[in-house]
Every structure is written in structure tokens, then in C-alpha cells.
Amino acid sequence: MKRKLNCVLLIDDDEPTNYLHKRIIEKRNCAKNIEVAQSGTQALEFFTERINDKHSQPDLILLDVNMAMMNGWEFLDEYDKLDAEQKKETVIIMLTTTLDRAYKQKAQEIKTINGFQTKPLSEKMLEEILNEHFADRL
């Protein structure tokens, strides 16, 4: 039997994008739980609510850059303040529709970010992420 990621957290303020990404992950059947946060603030609440539950911490976060209220960069600033145990082994992939090279360069300078991709997530892209970051766990 194949093992699955415990939790994937989608952070994006666009409902159709979240729906598409969730369907792709469900089709691949690689995660026990898929959680959706429609803002950076809502994502931080996800961590606050689960502070003592190591088993519900996400293995993978797909993070949109451009969101209202709290964008992806601002979320990362707050995420960095979380307890190290909550962030342990979490892979963060930033997703964006922008073609601005400055975004990609900025993402490469942040240690917390494991990848930077253009939205939307595709089946092929998901497979590449899983192979690169979770090959030993799946």
C-alpha cells in the first residue's frame, strides 16, 4: 500500500484555483487531508488551532503570492515566527500567475521556500514536486 502525505495546505484567495488544485491532488491520491485557507491570515489560524497536534501539520503548502489582506510574502514573515516543530519537514511551493522575475529571485533568497512555480498546478507539476521532495516518503 502506498503511503500518503498527511496534509496538504492550499493557501490562495481564488476559489476556482483552490478547487482545481484540490481535484488534482485528490486524483493523484497522495494526501490524507487537503486543507484550504483563502488568505495568509486564515492559514496562520490553521497553525494556531493545531499548535499541539504534530500529526495535522502540513507536509506540503502550496502558497499563492498575490492575495488580498495578507499576501504570500507577508504570510511567510509570520510563518517564520511559528514554533520550529510546527514547520519541521514542511515543503513550501509558491505558486503565482505573474511572470515577474523579481518574484522568483526573491523566492530563491528565502530559505523557507522550496520551489516557485507558475499557476495553475498541473498533474505533471504535482508529480515533479512529489518526486523531488517526497520520493522517500511516498
What domains are there in the chain, each with its CATH number? 5-133 (3.40.50.2300)
Q: What is the pLDDT of residues 52-77, one digit of tens each?
A: 676 678 999 999 999 988 999 999 99
pTM here is 0.92
Residue 56 is predicted with a pLDDT of 76
Could you give the CA distance from residue 113 to residue 100 in angstroms, rounded to a whole number?
17
Cell representation of residue 85: 516543530
Q: What is the pLDDT of residues 15-56, one digit of tens each?
A: 999 999 999 999 999 999 999 999 999 999 998 887 667 667
In what helix (H) or strand (E) does residue 24 lie, and over which residues does it extend?
Answer: helix 15-28
Cα pseudo-dihedral 130, 125, 89, 77, rounded to 10: 180
